[in-house]
Amino acid sequence: MFYNKKMAVLEIKKYPEKILKEKALPIEYIDGNIQRLMDDMIETMYALGGIGLAANQVGISKRICVIDISAIEEEMPLIVLVNPEIIEKKGSIESEEGCLSLPEYKTNVKRAEEVRVKGLDRKGMPIEIEGKGFLARALQHEIDHLDGLLLIDRISPIKREFFKKRYKKTMAGNK
């Protein structure tokens, strides 16, 4: 772990905030500010009990995501990915997902069963990750965020309408 005393928990952007619908911009080079953002994203993900987080979820339109699924698959290390890209997909499987930007909502989403993703790590070194099972799902969910897509964009229109009605009520109840 790259522990930094100055790490901060950032505010999460929630549906229907506009930045979540926008395609995030590629990173051209990784400097101290970008690494600081990565560390803050990691801190935020852990503080909120999330298993993944994309930079646009904290209001920054850059192609960075962090994933830690060790709560589900113990041996999986923390992943920091810059400019991630899916280069291969296999199979199809439906399973339940949630998202920090859609509080109190969970639904089944159909995704590829396996993916191969390339990108850069925290230091800017090229990496390739082969994701199976839950990791494949987390990678697709976070890369979707960077493309301006939420899990509700992956469900049927009927389910989406139902979500919108329920979500309004939930958010009104939380005020």
Give one DSSP letter per residue of 13-37, joined into a string.
P-TT-GGGGSPPBPPS---HHHHHH
Look-up: residue for tokens 């113990």? 74
Query: Is 59 or 126 the residue whose CB approaches Ni ion more closely?
Result: 59
Report the SS3 class of residue 68. Answer: coil
- Using CB under 5 A as the binding rule, whether residue 7 contacts Ni ion is answered as no
Structure token digits, residue 161: 């309408």
For residue 30, which phi and psi values (nearest 5 degrees)? -100, 115
Query: Is 99 or 115 the residue whose CB approaches Ni ion more closely?
Result: 99
Does the annotation count 142 as an active-site position?
yes
* Window of 23-31, 61-69, 77-85, 92-100 that interacts with Ni ion by CB under 5 A: 92-100
* Window of 10-18, 61-69, 98-106, 158-166 that interacts with Ni ion by CB under 5 A: 98-106
Distance CA 3, CA 35 (A): 12
Report the nearest approach of Ni ion to the CB of residue 99 (Å): 3
- Using CB under 5 A as the binding rule, whether residue 45 contacts Ni ion is answered as no
Q: Which of 41, 82, 99, 109 binds Ni ion (CB under 5 A)?
A: 99
* Window of 6-14, 21-29, 95-103, 162-170 that interacts with Ni ion by CB under 5 A: 95-103
For residue 139, which phi and psi values (nearest 5 degrees)? -60, -45
Report the SS3 class of residue 42. Answer: helix
- Using CB under 5 A as the binding rule, whether residue 20 contacts Ni ion is answered as no
The CA-atom distances, in angstroms, between 148 and each of 4, 80, 116 are: 30, 19, 20
Report the nearest approach of Ni ion to the CB of residue 9 (Å): 17
Residue nearest to Ni ion (CB): 99
Structure token digits, residue 31: 């400097």
Residues carrying an active site annotation: 142
Q: Given the rule CB under 5 A, which residues bind Ni ion? A: 99
